């Protein structure tokens, strides 16, 4: 299995979308554990791409190609992930998105998929989502939780913006607010007054379960 994960990782590092898609198809056909294939294979690949980009080995085209390769694989694997989980009654409603000015949506989509696979009703606003859109969505769908993802140290300030706007409107207590994304931390969540922080998709499910799902 390790060798298979390595192949997935390599396909993303090489920005080979066709191979990534082929490996995702093989994972499904051979009934491999989809979450492991994503996290131990494809995600390791995009993390390495990020590292190589940071140290100057890769340039923007390689970063984009790596992102396209993992997105191709996830377009097949995410729906399967949902189907593999048990679907029971809906535990609560969550609106999720990547904050304004930020197009990183791979991790956010994984979190959204895992939440809906775990029984939450999820409204995914996509990426580059303005503060007002989060709040309008929350209001429109009557959600319990507003979840925002930020991958840039600059855009994470928008997570603070969501909380400030809720306070300004006098509705802060109406929603549970959680944050996540690579530059975020428990400390950041405390600093901005969020109700919770999760470091990855699996802990996001546990966190939301504790906060709104009655777990």
For binding to ligand B1M (CB under 6 A), which residues are involved? Answer: 43, 46-47, 49-50, 53-54, 60, 63-64, 67, 101-108, 110-111, 147-149, 151-153, 178-183, 198, 200-201, 204
Question: Shortest Cβ distance from residue 36 to ligand B1M (Å)?
Answer: 13
Reference 123, options 93, 159, 163, 91; nearest CA is 93
Question: Shortest Cβ distance from residue 33 to ligand B1M (Å)?
Answer: 16
Question: Shortest Cβ distance from residue 128 to ligand B1M (Å)?
Answer: 8
Q: Give the residue with the Cβ less far from ligand B1M, 29 or 74.
A: 74
Question: Shortest Cβ distance from residue 125 to ligand B1M (Å)?
Answer: 12
Q: b/e string for 154-179 if b means 16 or more Cβ within 10 A?
A: ebbebbbbbbebbeeeeeeeebbbbb
Q: Give the residue with the Cβ less far from ligand B1M, 11 or 204.
A: 204
Q: Give the residue with the Cβ less far from ligand B1M, 101 or 164.
A: 101
Residue found by looking up tokens 């859109």 in the block: 133
Indicate the DSSP class of residue 192: H
Q: Give the residue with the Cβ less far from ligand B1M, 32 or 113.
A: 113
Q: Find residue 96's DSSP bridge partners.
A: 124, 147
d(CA 35, CA 146): 24
d(CA 46, CA 103): 15
Q: Give the residue with the Cβ less far from ligand B1M, 32 or 176.
A: 176
Q: How many alpha carbons lie under 13 Å from residue 62 in its C-beta half-sphere? A: 18
Question: Shortest Cβ distance from residue 145 to ligand B1M (Å)?
Answer: 9
């Amino acid at each position: 299995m390790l060798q298979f994960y390595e192949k997935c990782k390599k396909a993303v590092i090489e920005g080979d979308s066709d191979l990534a898609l082929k490996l995702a198809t093989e994972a499904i056909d051979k009934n491999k554990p989809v979450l492991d294939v994503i996290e131990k294979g494809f995600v390791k690949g995009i993390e390495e791409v990020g590292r190589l980009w940071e140290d100057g080995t890769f340039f923007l085209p390689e970063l984009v190609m790596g992102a396209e390769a993992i997105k191709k694989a996830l377009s097949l694997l995410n729906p399967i992930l949902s189907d593999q989980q048990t679907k029971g009654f809906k535990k609560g409603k969550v609106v999720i998105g990547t904050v304004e000015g930020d197009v990183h949506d791979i991790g956010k989509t994984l979190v959204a998929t895992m939440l809906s696979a775990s029984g939450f009703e999820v409204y995914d606003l996509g990426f580059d989502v303005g503060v007002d859109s989060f709040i309008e969505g929350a209001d429109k769908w009557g959600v319990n939780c507003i979840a925002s993802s930020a991958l840039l140290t600059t855009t994470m300030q928008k997570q603070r913006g969501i909380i400030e706007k809720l306070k300004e409107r006098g509705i802060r207590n109406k929603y549970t607010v959680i944050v996540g994304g690579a530059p975020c931390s428990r400390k950041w969540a405390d600093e901005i007054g969020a109700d919770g922080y999760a470091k990855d998709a699996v802990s996001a499910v546990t966190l939301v379960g504790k906060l709104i799902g009655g777990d």
